[in-house]
A = this chain, B = another copy of it.
Amino acid sequence: MNEDTIIRKLRRRASLIGDDCAVIQPPANEDLLFTTDFSIEGVHFRLESTPEEIGYRAVARSLSDIAAMGGKPLYCLISIALAPWTNESWIDGFYRGVHSMLRKTKTALAGGDISHANQFVCDVMVYGSVARGKALLRSGARPGDKIYVSGPLGGWSHKPVVVPRLDVGRKLIGKATACMDISDGLALDLHRLCVASCVAAELETVPLLKGANIEQALHDGEDYELLYTARPGVRVPGIPIGTITKGKPGALKYRGKALSPTGYDHTQQRSRPD
């Protein structure tokens, strides 16, 4: 299986592929959104997962960033580096997972790159759009805002299926004051939102996934729920978990005690624990 064979297979399902660049007409009166996320063997996934799950999740991770801005996904570029062990049936399974997520979210595969490495590496770039000037940013939270999450938390080990919250994100346009997705754990990501908004936060209740404990909900990554804030009295979907406060930017409290903003750091040379 060589490069041109893989590309020929992809073109059967993705007619845009075939030139040096994808050529796309931009939507009128919208802002463009761009995001990119790695999925690396031993870091973001283990080979005990099926290739379908790995492909599905690789795309879901980038779509979650589009959801966090209140956007609509349009096109994606997928780059893969094959590992010494990858064979045709694994790659076919991987792309079945990719296409399944793309179909669900009406996102078109427009290109990518193919190479090889010691471990399987995938990078998914998604391009989407949002009404001009309406993107949900991390930086708009103000003291007094209520803090919400789009669903219960518990980290990667309790989250077998990632569903990018595109529907929730779009409903928050014009309502949420700040929004992001939880990829590295509630504590670390809420800290980032607070730093960007120059505010502090106090958490009261954190909804847990079945079987998860509060430590996992606070500090594990890969939840891919949305984390957002809204003025008190503004009705938004989701579960309220606390309040934005004045204070040192990024300082967090959980039930009155200081909460450390620790979570998953992608630069560290370790895998997620089993």
Q: Is the CB of B125 within 8 A of A77?
A: yes
Q: Is the CB of A265 within 8 A of B3?
A: yes
Among residues 161 to 211 in chain A, which have CB atoms less than 8 Å away from a CB atom of chain B? 180-181, 192, 196
Given that A43-B115, A81-B121 are known contacts, is A268 also in contact with B2, CB under 8 Å in the complex? yes
Q: Is the CB of A119 within 8 A of B117?
A: yes
User: With an 8 A cutoff between CB atoms, is A212 at the interface?
Assistant: no
Given that A21-B68, A69-B20, A117-B121 are known contacts, is A75 also in contact with B34, CB under 8 Å in the complex? yes
Given that A65-B20, A117-B117 are known contacts, is A31 also in contact with B36, CB under 8 Å in the complex? no
Q: Which residues of A contact B (CB under 8 A)?
A: 1-4, 6, 18-27, 30-38, 40, 43-44, 65-66, 68-69, 71, 75, 77, 79, 81-82, 84, 110-119, 121, 123, 125, 127-128, 130, 132, 135, 137-139, 180-181, 192, 196, 265-269
Given that A31-B25, A65-B20 are known contacts, is A38 also in contact with B135, CB under 8 Å in the complex? no
Q: Is the CB of B115 within 8 A of A266?
A: yes
Q: Is the CB of B130 within 8 A of A23?
A: yes
- In the complex, A27 Cα to B135 Cα: how many Å? 18
Q: Is the CB of B32 within 8 A of A116?
A: no
Chain B residue numbers with a CB within 8 Å of A135 are 19, 21, 23
Shortest distance in angstroms between A229's beta carbon and chain B's nearest beta carbon?
14
Q: Tell which of B3, B71, B130, B267 touches A267, judged by Cβ atoms closer than 8 Å.
A: B3
Given that A19-B69, A19-B137, A66-B21 are known contacts, is A269 also in contact with B36, CB under 8 Å in the complex? no
